[in-house]
Chains A and B, each alone.
Chain A
Amino acid sequence: MSAAATVVRLDDAGGAAVLLETSRALPLVTISIGLKTGSLVDPAGKEGSTRLLARLMRRTAGGLDPQVIDTRIDSLGASLSADVAHSTMAFQATVISRSLNEFVDLLVDVLSRPSLAATELERLQRETLAELKDSLDDDSSLARRFFRRRFFGSHPYGRTVSGTSKTVPEISSADVQAVFQRAFVRGNLVFAFSGDLDATRASQIAKRISEALPSGSVGADATPEPSAIPGRRLVIVDKPERTQTKILIGCLGSHTQDEDHVALLVANTIFGGTFTARMTQEVRSKRGWSYGAYSSMPIDRRRQSFSMSTSPKADDAGPCLKLELDMLHDLREKGVTKAELSWAKRYMVRSHCFAIDTAAKRVGLELDQTLYDLPTDYYSRYTEHVQGVTLEQANLALRKRLSEEDLLITVVGTESLIGNSVREAVSNLASTEVVAFDSDD
């Protein structure tokens, strides 16, 4: 079974792109409305605008009081969230099917008639600033934040979706209005329905929301491809009283349009993609150094990073970092083995059933394919693509795409405890930076 086999595309919804899979298994309807616009459109110095807009829309639908909106959503047995990423945003809703009609009334107001009231924006800005302060308590988030900013540097992918304590207060009502008018046009929405509704109802809902929006479309994503920042760079994010560290090591990774994209996916599975992959075996099982040890290669419309992640205790940070660098070196130099490749392909093909075991997941994959401009058969022929990867392709992809020279290493920990050992663990360092965990830099 593939996602494409059961998901249908409706063409009678007034021109809107509509995906649907009906399932009567539960009395629930899931609605995702995706836009190919994300935080990359935030004006410079006003990072966080799109995210503020999405949250504000939910709070000011139809000019209602936010508490009235929240109470109504809850009382209908529904949930509604707005998620903003760099290239996309999505309104995700689930509703008990008996309440679908009333919920749709509210959803139309969220998407087409938010008041975006200035007083509510100001309140939301204060709330966001407090949340930003709270986020400093989470070391994993800190590691990801500093990694992304240093990894992409001045490229738009290095900017923050949530904004910073400096940019959030700078965002005005006019700014969020501008993002709203630019993004919420008919041609920019993709609807994905699943669950307890049929094609007629899905079309009606999509049509109703589309017709409440002005016509228009958003141009192609003009974001340039990111390029590697040369050299091995070490960033120590200094936070007091850490018994443990968070290490992220990364280089440029893959683009979904690369001819060797799937080959690299398979190689990553062998290296750090599962619980029995090389990283877990070496770091966790053999040495007990970290609870988790993984590598990952996220996707977007442009090339993203390939990164390795571990959380060793302070005493083990240096040795663990050195081990990971040695493993990366071995991976590129010696590649993966035939036995590993066969194993990984079996794992990836057989486990794919869990990516498509519900209607909501199947529709979600189709939605992602549309929003991220993925190859049309990215998910529908996923297992075939995986099966087709050869040992030569996998090892060539590792050598071609991954770098040991242009590498960013981010370590969150207490510098006085780990500084020397992590510096010594990295040869040929081009730069070392120590930055306070609560720095805005």
Chain B
Amino acid sequence: MSSPASQSRDLRGPGPKAREKRLSELNAGATPDGQVTHLETVAFGPSLAVERFRFGNGLELLFCEDHSAPVIAYHTWFRVGSRHEREGKTGLAHLFEHLMFNEVEGRKAGEFDRKLEEAGAESNASTWLDFTQYNVSIPKDQLPLVVKLESERMSRLVLRDPQVKSEKEVVANERRLRVDDDLEGAASELLWATAFENHAYRWPTIGWMKDIEGFTTEDCQEFYRTYYAPNNAVLVIVGDVAEAALLKKLSAAYGALPASTLPIEDVQPEPPQLAERRVEVSKPTATEKLVVGYHSPAMGDFDHPALSLLAEVLFSGRASRLHQKLVRELELATEVRAFVGPFRDPGLFELFISAREGQTAEKLLAVIDAEFEKVRTEAISPEEIARAAARLELGLLAGLETVDGKASTLGFYEIVLGRPGAAFERLDTTRRVTASDLIRVARRYLLPRYRSVIFVRPDSSTSTDDGAEAAQ
């Protein structure tokens, strides 16, 4: 049975001539900054297409018409993340993300969220190493409101001392929640600070506590002026709206915003790591943890898909090699996880392993070393490669069920790789990865001298009472 709610149309736009005519009419009445140019049509999987537009002020739009539900995902991605910060001012991009929900000229503090919620919207935001993104999902009839609110806060944000002071407290509490009182968060932060000495990836996105406490309203105002401009942003809109109607609204709302001169990023490449780095830390936990980071390629690197596939073979799912070895066969660990950083610059292949009681992190590391030696010397079977590739395919498809999932995927690949449809390109690349590719990346990246290791030991204040009970 097919239902009206489940039709996702293959829309390749209105056709070149019709679009040209519409854009010509639209641009005739628009400001120079609001004039729209259609740049390209990009395939997004087998059945959807994404249209790329650019406004006169440099604002880019990725639009995917999708009528699968009467809703719209409206994402604004800024090309600024924690990598654009400097020592002493870490965490500014993330603090600023919080401040973007506060006050806009002509509106009361908090009105942005109140209006959106009243419209039935779901909204959130996130900051990471390479970007800051704001996402709003709305019932389709509420599009005019979100266009107005989002275009307003791109240029007319009000930054005052009371809001900055209060938001600094909120962020400090978020840091306590996610890092200071969170074992894995604290260990991961230490790992990146150990593995990187030059590149801005060495500090945490949330920032060091002393930096969060030290921010001034002037810091925030300068950050806003520098990075929050239409020519540093990409709108990603997916959902139940016609292209012509959308462009008209966006041109009117964003056409009044001037472009700014963006600074040249002061990138500090990370020099090659030549020797293993080890750090020990004590935490109130009952069991040892092992956190390891191998320097890994940038997401756009030829080797990234192969290394990601190798990570799946080794660590993902209960059938993975290290789960089988550490959790099932030897019963040394409770959990194994790994993650190849999906970043613009080289990042880390990060491992997290939780030891069982009485087992040591050194023992875990010895098993990992032995397994890594195997993948450096022996071919991985086609069946294992196929298993890993199928997991990646399922993960991609499952993330595309909602318009928000589609917009997140498009925006992420646009910001990091400059190609919004790259998720499917990577899937194709992954399917072509061979056993030789996996041996190559294992030999190139999975060497002890390229890694940093954090040993988390239970501190003496932690009881070893046997009274555990899982929370529900």
Contact = CB atoms under 8 A, between A and B. Distances in A.
B176 to A, nearest CB: 4
Given A26-B400, A240-B461, A289-B173, A135 B470 contact: yes
A312 B6 CA distance: 43
Interface stretch (B25-33, B161-169, B229-237, B252-260): B161-169
Interface residues of B, number: 83
B463 A94 contact: no
A298 to B, nearest CB: 11
A137 B387 contact: no
Nearest to B166: A288
Nearest to A135: B470
Interface residues of A, number: 98
Interface of B is mostly: mixed
B261 to A, nearest CB: 34
Contact of B6 (A22, A126, A134, A142): A22
Interface stretch (B77-85, B115-123, B301-309, B410-418): B115-123
A268 interface: no
Contacts of A77: 390-391, 393-394
B467 A439 contact: yes
A313 B176 contact: yes
B397 A28 contact: yes
Contact of B173 (A71, A244, A346, A347): A244
A334 interface: no
Contact of A145 (B335, B383, B398, B472): B472
B466 interface: yes
Contacts of A244: 173, 176-177, 180-181
Nearest to A351: B120
B402 interface: yes
A104 to B, nearest CB: 16
B401 interface: yes
A242 B181 contact: yes
Interface stretch (B264-272, B317-325, B364-372): B317-325
Residue from A135, A243, A311, A349 with most neighbouring chain B CB atoms (10 Å)? A243
A216 to B, nearest CB: 28
A115 to B, nearest CB: 17
A133 B286 contact: yes
Nearest to A241: B284
A78 interface: yes
Contact of B71 (A27, A276, A353): A353
Contacts of B173: 244, 288-291, 311-313
A135 B327 CA distance: 16
Contacts of B470: 131-132, 135, 141, 145, 160-163
B462 interface: yes
Nearest to A342: B118
A85 B78 CA distance: 41
Given A165-B469, A291-B170, A359 B463 contact: no
A403 to B, nearest CB: 23
Given A288-B172, A358-B402, 15 more contacts: A26-B397, A66-B318, A96-B390, A127-B327, A132-B468, A132-B469, A161-B472, A165-B467, A165-B468, A198-B1, A289-B173, A312-B173, A354-B71, A354-B122, A438-B467
Interface of A: 1, 6, 8, 20-28, 66-67, 70-71, 73-79, 85-86, 94-96, 123, 126-127, 129-145, 148, 160-165, 198-199, 239-244, 274-276, 281, 284-291, 311-313, 343, 346-347, 349-354, 356-360, 362, 436, 438-441
12 contacts: A21-B1, A23-B68, A131-B335, A133-B287, A141-B470, A160-B470, A165-B469, A244-B176, A288-B167, A291-B174, A313-B173, A346-B118
